[in-house]
Amino acid sequence: MSATEKTVDTCVIIAEVTVDGDTTILGCMADSVLEVLDLMPAGITPAGITPAPRIGTNTRTEFIAGMGKRDDRFIILLDVDKVFSAEELSVVETGGR
């Protein structure tokens, strides 16, 4: 992945991922973040999370853990353990060595 230009909207998202059974905390740079939700107080319960819909044959949904709804907006829940490749997570595990 190529480097992107940092802007005033650039954020670091702190995520907890599992690498070979060990929990690791990492920071992920994002172009921007609209909102961070604590799901339960936001009214999104496990019962309210539905599987990712089939969006078409060319759209990959394996990174989506599910979908929820808050007010009149849909929320996409990412499966952080699947967003990164095993190689990328191994670099995190070894501290970039």
6 within domain boundaries = no
3 within domain boundaries = no
pTM above 0.95, yes or no: no
pLDDT of the residue at 10: 92
Number of domains composing the chain = 1
2 within domain boundaries = no
Q: How far apart are CA 77 and CA 48, in angstroms?
A: 12
5-36 residue pLDDT tens: 889 999 998 888 877 777 888 888 888 888 87
pLDDT of the residue at 2: 67
51 within domain boundaries = yes
Q: How far apart are CA 97 and CA 30, in angstroms?
A: 23
pLDDT of the residue at 59: 67
What is the rounded average pLDDT for all residues in the chain? Answer: 78
CA distances from 77 to 27, 31, 58, 93, 94 (A): 17, 17, 20, 24, 27
Residue 61 has pLDDT above 80, yes or no: no
